[in-house]
Amino acid sequence: MQLNQGGMIREGLALAVCVLLTGAPAQAYDIESAAEDSATGSTNLGVLSYQEGDGRIKVSKYQANVRNVWSEDSEFSIDLSVDSLSGGSPNGALPSRSVQTFATPSGRSLQKPVKKAPTVQTCTTPSGTTYNCTAGSSEKSSIYDVSAGQLPMDNSFSDKRQAISMSYGGSLAPSTRLALGGAFSTEADYQSLSANVALTQSFNQKNTTLSLGVNVERDSSSPVGGTPLPLSNYALFQRQGDQTKAVNDVLLGVTQVMTRRWLTRLNLSADNAQGYHNDPYKIVSALDSTGRVVGYLYENRPDQRSRRSLYWENRYALDRDTITASVRAMRDDWGMNSKTVDLRYRYVWSDGGFIEPHLRWYTQTAADFYRLYVMQGDPYLKAVSADSRLGGFTAKTVGVKLGYEMSRDSVFSLRFERYQQTGEVNMAGLPQLQGLDLNPGLSATIVSADLQFKF
């Protein structure tokens, strides 16, 4: 299944720019970054577990990063990661008052297979005695039923993702730095390839730094069972060939040392994506005038998307502790607007340990074409999706990170977080939908561990 690789690459581009800014004389260093900055090289080993509630998606992530400083003004880094995903994935359909039948992505029909009669076989033991060793049918059904009132989910969801990214940064002049990078990831049904470049220029005795970053990404989608024909009848299983998408990103930023303790950063980013944006595994329920499910359609999203975002971050160093606060606003031409507030306070309780509470608040409006359902025979339907990720919702993340400097060259940290999402439900008062939980919330637990050591 597809991960949000585009978002990961864009975050990677922003981080590449940030890496180039470490030459600025900011005082807000923490234990981890200070250990890394003083070394000729460092290695980070991390593991993360993400578990949604109600038997939904579970993710296990393993990551390794190696950073090597080749000279006083150049460095190279490589990042490897492996993700394993499994669990129940909502298919987009609504709960119903009756049992619903669906097919897994590899299915070709909504009819349950007829069990084959056992094949009679005769087996012989080593001593020569014969006996009936009849073998039953080993055919595995691609059909699954969802009970009345339950959110339709495909519990056969399973995927693995492998990714590699590399970057090189060096000085072009005493106040000018350049970073080059690239990334590749592959899944059973999705591949992504990207390249990025970032340039920074420092002024005012390195207290002011301007940055420019560009990322180019090309994705290929080859869904299990083939790519569904958009807006086609789900029961007909109409398919087409593999699909592609091209994404281009630009990031402009300024970092300013305000005081000896205060560092601020402002980034403006824009991206444009052309091509296949659908989730090939998502469908939309079609209802009659009473709200009874009469069928399903494959979703269809616009083949173009442009986004603009503004990000502002402030870091303030106390005598030993550090406060980090950031806000982000995003707007796109799908009608989605989002706002994010992120707060962290790192309390250093000793020379070798810290505790960092974390609070994140996020809200977004729904895409123009987001609908929980469609009415049967709608002649004006052009784009529609019931994917809750495109709906309006509010989410909160509360957590804490614990770290300890085991030696001069190594730091170990643990992070525990709880994510809670509440969706907004806009629905007509159809009789058959009354009393059903049409857009249940989402909760998840995140646990991660990280070991960093220098060499």
The answer to which of 10-14, 258-262, 272-276, 376-380 has the lowest mean pLDDT is: 10-14
Q: Is the pLDDT of residue 428 over 80?
A: no
Q: What is the mean pLDDT of residues 65-84?
A: 91
Give the span between the Cα atoms of 281 and 299, in whole angstroms: 9
pLDDT, tens digit (0-9, with 9 covering 90-100), for 131-155: 455 544 444 568 999 999 999 999 8
**104 or 111, greater pLDDT:** 104
- Domain assignment of residue 274, yes or no: yes
Q: Residue 236 — pLDDT band, cuts 50, 70, 90? A: very high
The pTM for the full model equals: 0.85
- Domain assignment of residue 86, yes or no: yes
- Domain assignment of residue 376, yes or no: yes
- Domain assignment of residue 139, yes or no: no
Count of the separate structural domains present in the chain = 1
Give the structural domain span for 198: 5-98+147-454
Non-local CB neighbours of 401 within 8 Å, separated by 6+ positions: 355, 356, 358, 413, 414, 415, 416
- Domain assignment of residue 117, yes or no: no
- Domain assignment of residue 136, yes or no: no
Instruction: Tell me the CATH number at 273.
Output: 2.40.160.40
